[in-house]
Structure 1
Amino acid sequence: MVVSPETCEFDWPAPDFTLPATDGKIYSLSDIKGQNGMLIVFMCNHCPYVLAVLDRIIRDAKELQSMGIGVAAICANDAESHPADSFDNMKKMAEEKGFPFPYLRDESQQIARAYDAVCTPDFFGFNADLGLQYRGRLDASRSSAGPDDLRRDLFEAMKQVAETGQGPRDQVPSMGCSIKWKDTA
């Protein structure tokens, strides 16, 4: 099911976390936070919206890291119902694609709920004080990548955050597949 998140609630504080990563390490918020901010990307291995722009996510992450923005991706999908999103498959994807950021597993889905993540990809851009400044899209791509010359909404917003501590007031929500929640019934 295709969904879009709510718009940005400016200065909402980043929830802390401690999660295992595909590189064998455990990361918390303080490990990810950069000097000028932080970007958390909720994503997964199977979503066509993520796969369509994954190379762009990697490109933007590298450039944002050079600006002092810490970056991490989190997969919270239920791996029982979606085996492509298992931790082993996450490890394979991170290695094959050469992720320049930690790819974290939220097995309990508590962190996704704390962030109120709703789709993949879902981007949360924070300033140096860890106040939310961006909750928008990567660019105008959908389930297939748009042209290479699309405006880089996420990159431009996070560049502004790195430089000023404030995100743009006009933001277009991301769109993607819904988080695959565990059946709690």
Structure 2
Amino acid sequence: MFTGIIEDLGVIEALNQEDTNLHLTIKSKLASELKIDQSVSHNGVCLTVIDLSPTTYTVTAIKETLDKTTLNSLKLGAIVNLERGLKLGARLDGHMVQGHVDQVGQCVGVEEQNGSWIFRFEYDSSLGNVTIEKGSVTVNGVSLTVVDSKDNGFSVAIIPYTYAHTNFHTFKKGSIVNLEFDVIGKYVSRLYAKTSIS
């Protein structure tokens, strides 16, 4: 479990394909504090540390993960949002994030508003995911509050700190992102779908 509060911006140092798996080596200040088998969120995708050096660590993404997330489009030098797993007893500053991406979405608009930014995203609503205004959503691993909710999209407001300390500053119209929808909302939506059928 994660909180959606980004700890560091990592840099992709190496990408090594092995059969259908992709090994990603990331340079991060967190590397010296990690251990083998630890879970780390990468743009919202939970992956397990398999190798370490003083300044880098390596994780592996399997085919299913590559097919359902944006990890397969990462290039050398790409900036990645990083967060270590939630520590029990710590404050929960974001919201409960599983690190299991539900689907990818696309940035369809960026609007600067006197020091903050409004980002608009769209996604395929046929997969059954929903947002609500003032509800939670995770974009590339960042816990955010929905400003405006539509059937196939939503907007979020980004403050300068978040803009500078996550990879939101790299987004532009057309950028593809990982989306994880609120786990409570997913359960409610699934239960509602079952009761409306019967």
Higher share of residues assigned strand: 2
Between the two structures, name the one with larger relative contact order (CA 8 Å, sep ≥ 6): 1
Q: Normalising by structure 2, what TM-score?
A: 0.24
TM-score by length of 1: 0.25
Higher percent of residues as helix = 1
